[in-house]
Structure 1
Amino acid sequence: MTDWTIERTAEVLLQAERTRADRGPITDEWPGLDLATAYRAQDVLLERRKAAGETVVGVKLGLTSRAKQLRMGIDAPLTAWLTDAMVLPAGTPVQVDELIHPRVEPEIVFVLKDRLAGPGVTAASAMAAVGAVHGGFEVIDSRYRDFRFTLPDVVADNASSALFGIGPVGLAPGGLDLSLLGCVLEVDGQVVDTATGAAVQGHPGQALALAANSLAERGLALEAGWIVLTGGMTDAVPLRRGSSVTVRFAGLGGLTVAGV
């Protein structure tokens, strides 16, 4: 028997975020937390954010790289919600003390011009719904100690969401080979990693299709105007006070986020 519920799961994770207090995985205490239940908890958490005045602006994908999937023992990415409270305006530093253990990863970002609803969405039909492609980054901040969690844990935690930034350069997808689009990740001016869009499910459009089809299983769709973070192209790097992380994309410019 357990006193854990979907509602309690959402509240515990929201409270951990608000108080900046990490904790052990919920599955340590509730082994019965499965993926479907975790998504229901994620949706309850979103409803509480909306009740507090936040607005949904899009979705993010997590665990889109094959290496991360193998590490977690899954064969598809996970989806989570983006709200307006997570937007980090250009040039705005991150108050590190307001988060638990922030990390930064580069992302290829889509802004949708059309609604995209599954099932049966392919990479080609997904890309037809994209209005603009941007470079961007996500600041992730798991509520679990040492980023230790199972797949249901991280889904319930809205895929470690915290903040995200989008570069000012937005290009139509038609002239871009996103599988070859390169990215450089720098910490304090030193290159620490590189990647191409192929790191994201072989092509970011494939990740977008998977998101649409996954949401369809829950009776949901991607809406026109939404932002989609397609998944980290490299491993995330810690963001520390007094340090900065820069992401540079071929043809899409660069962004820098500083920790203060």
Structure 2
Amino acid sequence: MNKVVSKEVKELASCLIDAEKNQKPIQPLTELNSDLTLEEAYEIQLQVVEEKVSKGIRIVGKKIGLTSRDMQIMYGIDTPDCGHLFENMIVKNNHEVSFKDVIQPKIEAEIAFVLKKDLKGPNVTVEEVLQATDYVLPSIEIIDSRIQDWNLKLQDTVADNASSGLYVLGDKPVSVDEVHLPDITMKVYQNGQLMKEGAGKNAMEHPAACVAWLANKLAEFDVVLQAGEVILSGALATTIDVVPGDEFTAVFEHLGEVKVKFIK
């Protein structure tokens, strides 16, 4: 980062790092600092990212959150946000996640993009996103929060890496030329019971529009979406709470399915 980071930003970043390390959520940062701005929240996120990278944890992608109107209403927020994906967040398809590795997880189903070209904003378009995409995959994002009881304002979730946790990708790459992403339907089953339905258009009318928004937003911080990165484009339905023993299957038209199970 080029700019000087304030002492308060560093302290709040340390609080989040400690919360993740100790698996103990903390009170909202907006209660610790009622004047916390959105710009400062992104600075906190980048400070945490910098700390992880300094320890050798590799960035493998990015995520967009709060892209659907239903999700924005749920959290009382009116704009998307974004975060970073690290190599230690990856869960293989149809594998298990231990509750020892999460704090207060929820799941959501999304379309994941894998890039073959860099994308640098501003002014990235949907068409440019599609041209830069190697393939898409079905995904389940396991969101998590270091903020107690998910008591979030936008600044809280942004600072907390957009409430990132873990993620699972499907096994069958599909070219964007083979599908019309807004029309792809999705169903999420919890322990065999249908719980949520959605479609690609639920994410800002077009999942690639979410990726374009991300590239343009990150340009403000001189961050580029890089070839090879995974981009989680945003939930196609609202989240589902998770308890130990739960098994989730997300089935996407044309893209296949992705599964994950949670154990104690």
TM-score under structure 2 normalisation?
A: 0.94
Give the 3-state SS of the residue equivalent to 1:170 in structure 2.
Answer: coil
Pair 1:5 & 2:33 matched: no
| Identity across matched positions, percent | 33
Aligned to 1:228: 231
Give the 3-state SS of the residue equivalent to 1:154 in structure 2.
Answer: helix
Tell me: CA distance 1:149–1:4, structure 2 relative to 1, closer, same or farther (3 Å). Answer: farther
One-letter identity of the residue aligned with 2:209: Q
Structure 1 gap ranges (5+): none
Aligned length: 258
Q: Is the 8 A contact 1:105 1:236 kept in 2?
A: yes
> Matched residues in 1 for 2:240 and 2:225: separation?
29
Aligned to 1:143: 146
TM-superposed deviation, 1:10 = 1.1
Give the 3-state SS of the residue equivalent to 1:41 in structure 2.
Answer: helix
Give the 3-state SS of the residue equivalent to 1:136 in structure 2.
Answer: strand
Pair 1:131 & 2:134 matched: yes
Q: Is the 8 A contact 1:96 1:239 kept in 2?
A: no
Pair 1:45 & 2:48 matched: yes
RMSD: 1.4
TM-superposed deviation, 1:234 = 1.2
Aligned to 2:70: 67
> Matched residues in 1 for 2:172 and 2:190: separation?
22
Pair 1:82 & 2:85 matched: yes
TM-score under structure 1 normalisation?
A: 0.95
1:143-165: CA deviations, max 9, x gaps? 11221111011100001111001
TM-superposed deviation, 1:123 = 1.1
> Matched residues in 2 for 1:220 and 1:52: separation?
20
Aligned to 2:159: 156
One-letter identity of the residue aligned with 1:104: I
> Matched residues in 1 for 2:78 and 2:228: separation?
28
TM-superposed deviation, 1:91 = 2.9
> Matched residues in 1 for 2:121 and 2:185: separation?
29
Q: Is the 8 A contact 1:239 1:245 kept in 2?
A: no
Pair 1:180 & 2:183 matched: yes
1:75-131: CA deviations, max 9, x gaps? 431110001011112232110133111111101000001001111111111111111
> Matched residues in 1 for 2:165 and 2:11: separation?
20
Tell me: CA distance 1:157–1:87, structure 2 relative to 1, closer, same or farther (3 Å). Answer: same
Tell me: CA distance 1:17–1:258, structure 2 relative to 1, closer, same or farther (3 Å). Answer: same
> Matched residues in 1 for 2:75 and 2:195: separation?
24
> Matched residues in 2 for 1:207 and 1:230: separation?
6
> Matched residues in 1 for 2:166 and 2:76: separation?
26
> Matched residues in 2 for 1:115 and 1:20: separation?
35
Q: Is the 8 A contact 1:110 1:134 kept in 2?
A: yes
Tell me: CA distance 1:61–1:49, structure 2 relative to 1, closer, same or farther (3 Å). Answer: same
Which deviates more from structure 2 when the two are superposed, residues 84-93 or residues 226-235? 84-93
Structure 2 gap ranges (5+): 1-5
